[in-house]
A = this chain, B = another copy of it.
């Protein structure tokens, strides 16, 4: 059931970075995300190009956020990742000669395009700050639950 998880993985990484003042190394992030440091570098490369994160080499190097949490939406991240296909099901042929297939593709494209537009708009409404606040709320609840069990 585990599919392309880059978007959620990246969000996860960025929030962990936000919790810190110092740069996080690819190794640390890889441990957080339960993956490989090279995969981290590969994924973060797109974000670096978009200015969302900054990387530094050598001693004290690693990954830092490049913009305030309020200024980065999930859509920005989606874009920086190269706008990967959101849908599992695509059309088979790009320019089908079969008119039956054209009719099918047209109907599906319409529906999928609208849903995708809606999804992307939603991604644009949520900033990293929103997510960080949600995390803090969960953290507070978690601590309260520990203090007052039962």
Interface set of A (CB-CB < 8 Å, partner B)? 1-9, 11-12, 15-16, 19, 32-34, 74, 84-92, 94, 98-108, 110-112, 114-116, 118-119, 122-123, 126, 130-132, 134-135, 138-139, 142
Report the Cα distance A1→B122, complex, angstroms. 25
Given the interface pairs A115-B118, A119-B112, the reply to whether A9 lies near B131 with Cβ below 8 Å is no
Question: Which of A90, A100, A138 has the most B CB atoms < 10 Å from its CB?
Answer: A100
Residues of B within 8 A of A85 (CB): 1, 3, 88
Contact B122 A111 (CB under 8 A): yes
Inter-chain CA distance A94–B5, complex, in Å, is 12
CB < 8 Å neighbour of A114 from B98, B103, B122, B132: B122
The CA-CA distance from A88 to B115 in the complex, in Å, is 13
| Inter-chain contact B107/A74, CB cutoff 8 Å | yes
A74 to chain B minimum Cβ distance, whole angstroms, is 7
